[in-house]
Amino acid sequence: MIFKLERRVDDSRWMAYLSPILAGTLTLITGSILFWALGKDPLQTLYTFFIAPVSDLYGWTELGVKAAPIMLCALGLAVCYRGKVWNIGAEGQLLFGALVGGGVALQFLESDSAFALPLVLVAGALAGMAWAAIPALLKTHFNTNEILTTIMLNYIALNLLLFSVHGPLKDPGGFNFPESALFTEAVTLPLLLEDSRMHIGILFALFALVAVWVLLSKTFVGFQIKVLGLDTRAAHFAGFKERRLVWLALLLSGALAGLAGVCEVTGPIGQLVPQVSPGYGYAAIIVAFLGRLHPVGILLSSMLMALIYIGGELVQIELNLPLALTGLFQGMLLFFLLACDVLIAYRIRLSPRFSALRKPSSAALVNGADANLSTHSQ
Amino acid sequence: MKQEKKSLAQRFAKAAGVALALFMSAQSVTAAEPVKVGFVYVGPTGDAGWTYSHDKARKYVEEQLGDKVKTTYVESVAEGADAERVIRQLAKSGNDLIFTTSFGYMNPTLKVAKQFPKVKFEHASGYKRAKNVGTYFDRIYEGRYLTGVIAGKMTKSNIVGYVGSFPIPEVVRGIDAFTQGLRSVNPKAVVKVVWVSSWYDPAKEREAAETLILQGADIINQHTDSPGPIQAAQAKGVYAFGYHSDMSLYGKDAHLTAATHNWGPVYLEKVKSVMDGSWTSTDFWGGLASGATALAPLNPAIPEDVVKLVEERKQAIIDGKLHPFQGPVKDQSGAVKVPAGEVMSDEDLLSLNWYVEGVEGELPK
């Protein structure tokens, strides 16, 4: 290898800001080559991908609709991951929240009570919380690995949803098709902007953003979670109650994911369907890390994630690019973003052998050191 | 001087001529503006299956109408909140007609249609219509019946396996029609069903087919989207039927035939009616007679007398002399549901949720 990575003594401050720019540049360059090779105008394609989707107010509202559930899930996950609680179950918590919230919403088909919607939302959040309580209990009492339990609970939640829309919650007037009746106005989220789909769920997401920021940066509990994540033993020595922190992180993240789910079904979807989520809970894992587990970072990364989904659709519509290609491009962007972050903690060095060619004196030094090492090991 | 003036006038005339020509050509461009047609697909276009059958028809329309039509498609659109955005984007981009090709797009299609009253929408397999939203589907069960006839003649173990997706009327109708065909030529044969709870899951579908083969099935039918069951049958040396499109590519020996959708003529008709302004919202449900349902080429392993029988039955269905659900139709308990001399109504067909006699096991509710 010509290059090698060398651990920095301290994380590079300016690399923290520079690495997304570097990743963006790399994406633009490789993307341009890719589109050019396919006979498309690179500039026009990149414009359609990144600019055209948000060139009008309507575009921004759609971006918000798409980003809100991802953001809610990712914020909760960030709290978990800061404490090294590996919750992979946002998807299941979202689905269970949607299912229970939707089930409650269906009880209000003939009511226009003002309490209906808050009740539905609270039911959804509590359901997500309850779903996260299962791995919390298993982890704190039986030391079960939460990665496994949360993943498995995703499938259980999905199958419960499928069972419900195929069975008990099926629309009686719907020719046996697997979906519930449409929710009434009373249990549908109000829109923030007429003629758009932007519902008040976006406000919940922004509120959660502030709350999570306060929790992580301004409270002692947040500090405890971070210490737990950085050094479990130090947290124990300090007398922090690990169990309580695990419970807190999982319940909070479950509630946020559940809220995301119930906002989807009472917002843009408007009924219970088999496909409530196109994998928001999984996308949120990427988004959480892309945002470096920081609320502001998550705001930006969830918007970016939403943008590349919408942009991917638009290049299909406007430029007839196949889906596989937009998927490839999206993957490339995420890869560059995460890969460039390695430069924050590491620096690139010319490997000794090659620097040896340039600087004989240092090479001798290195070789000498090698020789020393080998004699020691003998 | 004079010369110069003349040339100026000439130039002027020339410029005017060019301008006129440009104007004329611009006019003719507007006159021949192609009709724009959008398609929303639930899966990847691929080489076989449901979405493939729609994309094949899209290409057929392009072939037939040339530059009079411009088509756009978006593939693998999830049926949740994303669908509405994609459909609206297609409407915003100036499409005159939009085909939304999966059941889950029903409510999103209606929502968008309300906001774009001038755009026409056609939704596959749904039951809700509006002034600018029509629905269409094909009587694929007629094709299923014919595959049943073939299965009845080809099975030796008298057990036929069926890989099902979800127990909704469309799928149950297929199982029942297939069984009706099967038992019409072989009253001893039975159908075993395994549900995979998915429209597209190659591994699960294949496993389900293998399970059925282990239980003695020597022919496999499917109401799922992947060629998994065909591949399983090919590997185990038994027969199978494809679905949605010709799947012989995945198991040359196993593939007896397939009940296929032939959307090409249906789409061509719809696009033409938008072009000449005669489009209205309708509920199209055509089968073998309209050409919307067809059988894939038959496997040469099928004996000649069976081929002849299938051709006769097919013609009888086209002529309206035979109906897959003509009485007496009995349910699993042997109770007569459709008395002799009658056929099942379209309404009952659309909400069918019971097995006919000859299907084993209980229908999940």
pLDDT at A365: 45
Q: How far apart are CA B103 and CA B244, in angstroms?
A: 15
Residue length of chain B? 365
| For residues B98-123, average pLDDT | 95
Q: How far apart are CA A220 and CA A218, in angstroms?
A: 7
Strand-pair partners of B326:
B343
pLDDT tens track for A261-285:
999 999 999 999 999 999 999 999 9
| For residues B42-68, average pLDDT | 93
Strand-pair partners of B73:
B39
Has residue A157 been placed in a domain? yes
Domain boundaries, position A307 = 41-320
Q: What is the domain class of B140-261+294-350 according to CATH?
A: alpha beta
Tell me the pLDDT of chain B averaged across its residues.
Answer: 91
Q: Do domains B35-138 and B140-261+294-350 have the same CATH topology?
A: yes
Q: Is the pLDDT of residue A20 over 90?
A: no
Q: How far apart are CA A176 and CA B169, in angstroms?
A: 7
| For residues A73-82, average pLDDT | 97
Percent of chain A whose pLDDT exceeds 70:
93
The token pair that represents A2 in the structure block: 């010509």
pLDDT at B19: 53
**Domain extent listing, chain B:** 35-138, 140-261+294-350
Name the helix (H) or strand (E) containing A91.
Answer: helix A90-105
Strands (E), chain A: 3-7, 346-350
User: From B103, which residue of chain A is nearest by alpha-carbon distance?
Assistant: A177
Has residue A29 been placed in a domain? no
At residue A17, what are phi and psi to the nearest 5 degrees? -90, -30
- Nearest CA-CA partner of A295 in A54, A111, A82, A56: A82
* CA A40 distance to own-chain centroid: 31
Contacts of A113-117 with C-beta under 8 Å, sequence gap 24+, read: A113/A186, A114/A186, A116/A186, A116/A187, A117/A186, A117/A187, A117/A188, A117/A189, A117/A266
Q: What is the DSSP letter of A274?
A: S
A316 touches chain B (CB under 8 A): yes
Q: How far apart are CA B248 and CA B296, in angstroms?
A: 9
Tell me the pLDDT of chain A averaged across its residues.
Answer: 89
pLDDT tens track for A334-367:
899 888 888 888 888 877 666 555 555 444 444 4
Q: How far apart are CA B97 and CA B37, in angstroms?
A: 5
Name the helix (H) or strand (E) containing A135.
Answer: helix A116-142
B59-98 per-residue burial string, b: 16 or more CB within 10 A, e: under 16: ebbbeebeeebbbbbbbbbbbbbbbbbbbbbbbeeebbbb
Q: How far apart are CA A46 and CA A33, in angstroms?
A: 11
pLDDT at B80: 84
Question: B35-138: which CATH architecture?
Answer: 3-Layer(aba) Sandwich (3.40)
Give the contacts of A222 (CB within 8 A, at least 6 positions apart): A214, A215, A216
Of A173-177, A197-201, B132-136, least confident by mean pLDDT is A173-177
Quickly state the pLDDT bin for A326 (edges 50, 70, 90).
confident
Q: How far apart are CA B165 and CA B145, in angstroms?
A: 18
Structural domains of chain A, count:
1
A171 touches chain B (CB under 8 A): no
| Interface-testing mutation among A323, A326, A330, with chain B (most B C-beta atoms within 10 A) | A323
User: From B167, which residue of chain A is nearest by alpha-carbon distance?
Assistant: A166
A48 touches chain B (CB under 8 A): no
Contact yes or no for A267 and B81 at CB 8 A: yes
pLDDT at B158: 97
Has residue A3 been placed in a domain? no
User: From B73, which residue of chain A is nearest by alpha-carbon distance?
Assistant: A317
Which domain CATH number covers A61?
1.10.3470
The token pair that represents B342 in the structure block: 């009658």
Residues of chain A with Cβ-Cβ distance to B175 below 8 Å are none
Q: Distance (Å) from the C-alpha of residue A266 to the closest C-alpha of chain B?
A: 11
Quickly state the pLDDT bin for B197 (edges 50, 70, 90).
confident
Q: What is the DSSP letter of A87?
A: -
